[in-house]
Amino acid sequence: MVIVLKSNIAQNSVKDLIENIRAKDLDVNVSEGHNHTIIGLIGDTSKILPEDLQSIDIVDSVKRISEPYKKANRKMHPEDSIINVAGKMVGEGMFHVIAGPCSVESEEQIIEVARDVQKSGATMLRGGAFKPRTSPYAFQGLHGEGIRLLLEAKKATGLPIVTEIMNASHLDLFDEVDVIQVGARNMQNFELLKELGHCSKPILLKRGLANTIEEWLMSAEYIMAGGNSNVILCERGIRTFETVTRNTLDISAVPVLKEKTHLPIIIDPSHATGKSALVAPLAKTAVAAGADGLMIEVHNNPAAALCDGAQSLNPKQFDELMADIKRRVEFEGKTM
Amino acid sequence: MVIVLKSNIAQNSVKDLIENIRAKDLDVNVSEGHNHTIIGLIGDTSKILPEDLQSIDIVDSVKRISEPYKKANRKMHPEDSIINVAGKMVGEGMFHVIAGPCSVESEEQIIEVARDVQKSGATMLRGGAFKPRTSPYAFQGLHGEGIRLLLEAKKATGLPIVTEIMNASHLDLFDEVDVIQVGARNMQNFELLKELGHCSKPILLKRGLANTIEEWLMSAEYIMAGGNSNVILCERGIRTFETVTRNTLDISAVPVLKEKTHLPIIIDPSHATGKSALVAPLAKTAVAAGADGLMIEVHNNPAAALCDGAQSLNPKQFDELMADIKRRVEFEGKTM
Amino acid sequence: MVIVLKSNIAQNSVKDLIENIRAKDLDVNVSEGHNHTIIGLIGDTSKILPEDLQSIDIVDSVKRISEPYKKANRKMHPEDSIINVAGKMVGEGMFHVIAGPCSVESEEQIIEVARDVQKSGATMLRGGAFKPRTSPYAFQGLHGEGIRLLLEAKKATGLPIVTEIMNASHLDLFDEVDVIQVGARNMQNFELLKELGHCSKPILLKRGLANTIEEWLMSAEYIMAGGNSNVILCERGIRTFETVTRNTLDISAVPVLKEKTHLPIIIDPSHATGKSALVAPLAKTAVAAGADGLMIEVHNNPAAALCDGAQSLNPKQFDELMADIKRRVEFEGKTM
Amino acid sequence: MVIVLKSNIAQNSVKDLIENIRAKDLDVNVSEGHNHTIIGLIGDTSKILPEDLQSIDIVDSVKRISEPYKKANRKMHPEDSIINVAGKMVGEGMFHVIAGPCSVESEEQIIEVARDVQKSGATMLRGGAFKPRTSPYAFQGLHGEGIRLLLEAKKATGLPIVTEIMNASHLDLFDEVDVIQVGARNMQNFELLKELGHCSKPILLKRGLANTIEEWLMSAEYIMAGGNSNVILCERGIRTFETVTRNTLDISAVPVLKEKTHLPIIIDPSHATGKSALVAPLAKTAVAAGADGLMIEVHNNPAAALCDGAQSLNPKQFDELMADIKRRVEFEGKTM
């Protein structure tokens, strides 16, 4: 961390600052310029937030040099992490497609969709049991019953299941779930992240609507700091001024994350755009960008879907997309 | 809600759509244009999300006309709500200043700050016991002990206390807290909102970093739908491309909310900018915009603050600001 | 266009509004709902801006249904436009790579780079002669001399040249330029767009930093309304809250534009990220998304570049990228 | 400027870098940390853009310490600038209200509005003759004739006139105009800025839709570097994700600019929100924030306005607002 001091300040207040820093088990390197003195911090600065140093009245600005995340940092763990999901490996060289409806609606629906997406080549089944909806009056999911139905679909097909948690007190219900999803709106629900750090299940951590990549990695760090290293990142579009798509897919996040972290990264083109017609072209870009997989909404009757129908493919559209995706995954030298 | 259909579509699929809508206890009004048919929905559309209708393949676009919030809507409740906080009234004509440190650090600190801000005219005490921090390695607050110390400060000064909740399972600890704060990062933690809807305490609901005013009111609606109408809204800056301030204070939110809702609205200039030098000018704009109060960070030693020191005033600066704010509140014909 | 009226308004003011609309050669279709009356406009609404109707005090909101652009609209021109650039065809089925330095610096430099990128397979040469720089003290380009050097490089290699115009009064200097570029900062310099509408040269129109896709198409419409249909669109990243990349590449723009317009669309991954390490992964996503080409900065000595060196590839890196891009273009069934 | 080098790099490449920097008439201060070497640049760094240094492969990151603007910088010019507009002083302690219609439509209209706003206390008249419109098919202003009509209104009332320029080649038409406005879309039309730097008229420089405060000051610097120091800044709302207002007024810009520059700053609440009902509350916040004036759209018949009617006040509304603004200006100890 580098601290730039204001110009024309008293020497003894600089001394005080340096003593304060040393009191936190850090060393300093002072460099005097014409107008500005610069203090470099030496040691583990991960406990220090730049905002806190910023408060000191002789400080002009603060610049972090080392990343504030350690366990998620590729520098500390140069090889790609491979996450074991019920025996299936997620990460380097493998490509996964997680497919299924926005919401679990009935046993027939989820089993039919599960069979359809499996036939087309999906490797995991998604389905919402607890649904974060902006309106308290909108359908909120079947809750425990929804998870029960997902498990029926798993029994019928063997597909591992992925479903979202919204409340740590529901954790018991997720006992047989294969991947626990943290949704965009809970990316900085630090209490939930801490709890998930104490279990050993794979966590699919979606990026928040307006969170930077660094904040996202810090949320992964919350889970990992608790002892659970099984984190899969999922980019699902960020909020911008553009309104033609529901969100703006930040495809650059894939190569940026591949440099900064060893964790796998998948793309959710369905939520990123909110439009089924854009799912296929964006899924293709995800493969080309180097993502480790896709999460795609598929519904057996999108027009009647209880939520988010606009962005769901029907099984036939999904099947066509998968045929194309398989060729592309092969082109990239990966396996599905 | 108005549904615009695509051009050149089969008449029988229009019929199907209309039947589907009628099956949801809504009536329709169909208007045929040259290129487009427009269907107006008549009845209570609050359970319907535009995204869901958007999914239907003959639909071009959907426009909501009625607001999706009811209990928070000024149309349903034209008079300003007045929230009773331990006998102090928040709302129309009254102006409140909630002041105190980012974090509760010790008994001495919180009592000293409480006495200072009371002397300057603050009407409530704030202080963080549970702190949402981006880094798992940063100080996270004193938790239950922090709340205990706030209650000591309340005993010493009589000031009602405001503190943030991050987890519904901590609710017991908030028994004697006067106002429960929901932070920006939890604005769409719907599980937490639902729980708070079942208590009767005043809730201070901060706007999320990248949430629209409509989403914010929908989060208030979550609390109110559960039976708790005691909601105070707090604007604290939104995330934009500008980096000179930590966030961008959306001062327009005050007059916009005054038109759309009957709930009180206060401004937090400390978090909105992240810089203590900007707190005073922005506090002045809040009074002028018609806000019902301010939330301001005050620390007896900002330079040594464990968090967010950069945006804290010291007691002397706060005292000077309050002298000015009092004149402005009087100018607006309000009382403090 | 659909106008939603406020509730409880006088009948005669509705009548007045309808008469006003009819006076503009438009017909109306009135539909009365429970709370709201809706007026649909029938006829050519392209001269009317929704903001203008919004002003009328009985109007609640206005929704455009037909797109405001005509000549750029795929509905009016279903087949892909193919733009002839010095005999090379840009558009459907063909893939172009425009490469070269940010700035033209010297005859040796531009000829060397031109030969290098041609050898690697680039189909056009780019180079800045007029440079928009945020600082008046930074290097602003070689101006007319820069264009002369580009023409030397064209003579040496036969590559068509692409260079940016910043001022319509310089048009004479662009006489032998093959493609005139309008930069992001001038996307809504309507005076410049009008002038370019009166020439017949291909125009490469970059998207503004914070402009929507609709605004971008309206800027294309400005050029086309003047009589010049030779417009190539270029996405170069938009401004968001994320700071790890200089801008955020909006890759969804490609499939969105392919639906809305018949104009070719290319991607500039160099400006989109500002980092040379991200150019190759993003170039790959552009091919997969269905773009018609790429614009890539290449410098023979990026570290010494007078501007934007950070985002430039050196010739060797470009050569490796091109080998990969060729395979991908072939995979997509396109030719280069 | 501070350059942070990557870790584990060759010593001789550091040497090369330092030599390169010294060749640009700058001195360096090298500080070696555990993992990172930091180089501080000493001297005039205004010609160097951080992006350019970023390109060097041994560089990790670059941080500017001194502001890149000099003539606009308060450090170089601690006292507030006072701009003389036809004998009226704009700046410290004085408060101006520039009012008038979006577009000049006819002699009767502009003279009637001019008389109305003058009676209410406006100190200057605005009116658009050249109008930047997103659509080529929308009304573009009366051009030279519009300026002629403004001058008639000036003759009738004595009010100085403010009107927008879109093309430097029109400068002759602005000979008798008192303040030349540069609109948001032309804030980075550097060619136009340079031309305006060569005249001596006051320039009202609006902030771009998505431009940072630093970029805005750099655009002021373009004008000032050419020799024209008469720049008035105008904040008119920035583009964010919020859609309830057309733009988001960045009220913090006022105190931020008051610290960074000596130039006067005014607020345009009409464009900032696009809604007439929000003009009055935001005008009040502008006075409280310390702005030097307001720019407000007033139309004698907003519902029939050819452009931007939605955000215009009628003369009666303006008169009521001015009565209130006068009291507030007096409260702030300023004169109008």
DSSP string, A92-156: TTB-EEEEE-SB---HHHHHHHHHHHHHHT-SEEE-BSS---SSTTS----THHHHHHHHHHHHH
pLDDT of D17 over the 90 cut: no
Contacts of A256 in chain C (CB under 8 A): 244-245, 278
Same-domain check for residues C27 and C172:
no
Same-domain check for residues B20 and B94:
no
Given an 8 Å threshold on Cβ–Cβ distance, is C51 in contact with D135?
no
CATH number at residue A303: 3.20.20.70
Contacts of A303 in chain B (CB under 8 A): 55-57
Same-domain check for residues D133 and D220:
yes
- Across the interface, of B31, B60, B241, the residue whose CB is closest to C38 is B31
Same-domain check for residues D141 and D18:
no
pLDDT of D167 over the 90 cut: yes
Is residue C68 domain-resident? no
- How far apart are alpha carbons D59 and D61 in whole angstroms? 6
Chain B interface includes A183 (CB < 8 A):
no
- The percentage of residues in chain B with a pLDDT greater than 70, rounded to a whole number, is 98
Residues in chain A: 336
Chain B interface includes C2 (CB < 8 A):
yes
Same-domain check for residues D123 and D87:
yes
Q: Which positions ≥6 away from A88 have C-beta within 8 Å? A: A94, A96, A123, A124, A160
Chain B interface includes A286 (CB < 8 A):
no
* pLDDT recorded at residue C308: 67
For C331, counting Cβ atoms within 10 Å of its Cβ (0-12 exposed, 13-18 middle, 19+ buried), the class is middle
* pLDDT recorded at residue D16: 85
For B171, counting Cβ atoms within 10 Å of its Cβ (0-12 exposed, 13-18 middle, 19+ buried), the class is middle
* pLDDT recorded at residue C224: 97
pLDDT in tens, A243-300: 999 999 999 999 999 999 999 999 999 999 999 999 999 999 999 999 999 999 999 9
Q: Is the pTM of this model over 0.80?
A: yes
Same-domain check for residues C170 and C23:
no
* pLDDT recorded at residue B182: 98
Q: Kindly indicate the confidence band of residue A305, based on its pLDDT and cuts at 50, 70 and 90.
A: low
Given an 8 Å threshold on Cβ–Cβ distance, is B38 in contact with C32?
no
- Alpha helices in C4-62, H assignment, sequence order: 11-22, 50-54
pLDDT of B34 over the 90 cut: no
pLDDT of B99 over the 90 cut: yes
For the segment D196-205, the average pLDDT, to the nearest whole number, is 97
Same-domain check for residues D53 and D88:
no
Same-domain check for residues A170 and A53:
no
Q: Which of B154, B52, B160, B47 minimizes the C-alpha distance to B97?
A: B160
Out of D39, D63, D87, a domain closes at: D63
* pLDDT recorded at residue C184: 97
Q: Which of A201, A207, A189, A106 minimizes the C-alpha distance to A161?
A: A201
Torsion, Cα B37 B42 B48 B53, to 10 degrees, reads -10
For chain D, what is the mean pLDDT? 93
For the segment A56-76, the average pLDDT, to the nearest whole number, is 87
Contacts of C259 in chain A (CB under 8 A): 277
C126-165 CB burial, b ≥16 within 10 A, e <16: bbbbbbbbbbbbbbbbbeeebbebbbebbebbebbbbbbb
Angle (CA) D245-D248-D250 rounded to 5° is 155
Beta strands D203-206; D231-235: pairing state: parallel
For the segment B158-180, the average pLDDT, to the nearest whole number, is 97
- How far apart are alpha carbons A163 and A114 in whole angstroms? 14
Mutation target for D interface from C135, C166, C186: give the one with most D CBs within 10 A.
Answer: C135
By CA distance, what is D303's nearest residue in C? C56
Q: Kindly indicate the confidence band of residue C63, based on its pLDDT and cuts at 50, 70 and 90.
A: confident
Q: Name which of A59-63, B143-147, C72-76, D302-306 the model is least confident about.
A: D302-306
Mutation target for C interface from B1, B3, B36: give the one with most C CBs within 10 A.
Answer: B36
**3-class secondary structure per residue, D149-190:** HHHHHHHHHCCCEEEEECCHHHHHHHCCCCEEEECHHHCCCH
Q: Which of A230, A225, A197, A214 minimizes the C-alpha distance to A90?
A: A230
- How far apart are alpha carbons C79 and C87 in whole angstroms? 20
Beta strands C59-63; C179-182: pairing state: unpaired
pLDDT in tens, C80-99: 999 999 999 999 899 999 99
Neighbouring chains of B at 3+ CB pairs under 8 Å are A, C, D
Given an 8 Å threshold on Cβ–Cβ distance, is B35 in contact with C66?
yes
pLDDT of A33 over the 80 cut: no
Chain B interface includes A138 (CB < 8 A):
yes
CATH number at residue B19: 3.30.70.1140
* pLDDT recorded at residue A34: 67
Chain B interface includes A218 (CB < 8 A):
yes
For B200, counting Cβ atoms within 10 Å of its Cβ (0-12 exposed, 13-18 middle, 19+ buried), the class is exposed
- The percentage of residues in chain C with a pLDDT greater than 70, rounded to a whole number, is 98
Given an 8 Å threshold on Cβ–Cβ distance, is D36 in contact with A32?
no
Is residue B221 domain-resident? yes
DSSP secondary structure code for residue D76 in this structure: G
Q: How far apart are the first and last CA of chain A?
A: 42
Q: Which positions ≥6 away from C316 have C-beta within 8 Å? A: none
Expressed as residue numbers, the domain containing B98 is 83-331
Given an 8 Å threshold on Cβ–Cβ distance, is A49 in contact with B134?
yes
For C333, counting Cβ atoms within 10 Å of its Cβ (0-12 exposed, 13-18 middle, 19+ buried), the class is exposed
pLDDT in tens, C212-253: 999 999 999 999 999 999 999 999 999 999 999 999 999 999
Given an 8 Å threshold on Cβ–Cβ distance, is D214 in contact with B244?
yes
pLDDT in tens, A159-170: 999 999 999 999
Is residue B261 domain-resident? yes
For the segment C273-295, the average pLDDT, to the nearest whole number, is 96
Same-domain check for residues B53 and B167:
no
Residue showing tokens 């008449």: B11
Is residue A77 domain-resident? no
Same-domain check for residues A38 and A91:
no
For A61, counting Cβ atoms within 10 Å of its Cβ (0-12 exposed, 13-18 middle, 19+ buried), the class is middle
The phi, psi pair for A296, rounded to 5°, reads -130, 135
By CA distance, what is B5's nearest residue in C? C65
pLDDT of B50 over the 90 cut: no
* C-alpha pair distances (Å), B103 with each of B167, B309, D68: 17, 10, 37
DSSP secondary structure code for residue D206 in this structure: E
Provide the shortest C-alpha distance from residue D51 to chain C (in Å).
6
For chain C, what is the mean pLDDT? 93
The phi, psi pair for D113, rounded to 5°, reads -65, -40
Residue pairs spanning A and C at CB distance below 8 A: 102
- What tokens does C183 get? 């930069």
ipTM: 0.92
Given an 8 Å threshold on Cβ–Cβ distance, is B61 in contact with C61?
no
List the beta bridge partners of residue C128. Answer: C103
Residue pairs spanning A and D at CB distance below 8 A: 60
Given an 8 Å threshold on Cβ–Cβ distance, is D309 in contact with C132?
no
* pLDDT recorded at residue C59: 85
Contacts of A47 in chain B (CB under 8 A): 135, 137-138
Given a contact cutoff of 8 angstroms between Cβ atoms, the answer to whether B107 and B308 are in contact is: no
pLDDT of D190 over the 90 cut: yes
- Higher per-residue pLDDT: D252 or A92: D252
Given an 8 Å threshold on Cβ–Cβ distance, is A277 in contact with C290?
no
Contacts of B292 in chain D (CB under 8 A): none
The phi, psi pair for D309, rounded to 5°, reads -55, -35
* pLDDT recorded at residue B72: 97
**Amino acid, res. D150:** L
Is residue A100 domain-resident? yes
Same-domain check for residues B251 and B194:
yes
Given an 8 Å threshold on Cβ–Cβ distance, is D51 in contact with C307?
yes
Is residue A336 domain-resident? no
For chain B, what is the mean pLDDT? 93
Out of C63, C82, C113, a domain closes at: C63
Beta strands A37-42; A2-5: pairing state: antiparallel
Given an 8 Å threshold on Cβ–Cβ distance, is A241 in contact with C238?
yes
* pLDDT recorded at residue A201: 97
Contacts of B210 in chain A (CB under 8 A): 209-210, 239
Is residue A14 domain-resident? yes
Same-domain check for residues B204 and B285:
yes
| Torsion C213-C218-C220-C224 (CA) sign | positive
* pLDDT recorded at residue C194: 97
Is residue A103 domain-resident? yes
Beta strands D179-182; D203-206: pairing state: parallel
- What tokens does C38 get? 């809706």
Chain A interface includes B56 (CB < 8 A):
yes
Given an 8 Å threshold on Cβ–Cβ distance, is A272 in contact with C259?
no
Count of domains observed in chain B: 2
Q: Name which of A40-54, A89-103, C133-147, D165-179 the model is least confident about.
A: A40-54
- How far apart are alpha carbons A293 and D159 in whole angstroms? 65
* pLDDT recorded at residue C21: 86
Q: Which of A197, A219, A196 minimizes the C-alpha distance to A206?
A: A219
By CA distance, what is D41's nearest residue in A? A33
- Higher per-residue pLDDT: C19 or A110: A110
The phi, psi pair for B244, rounded to 5°, reads -70, -30
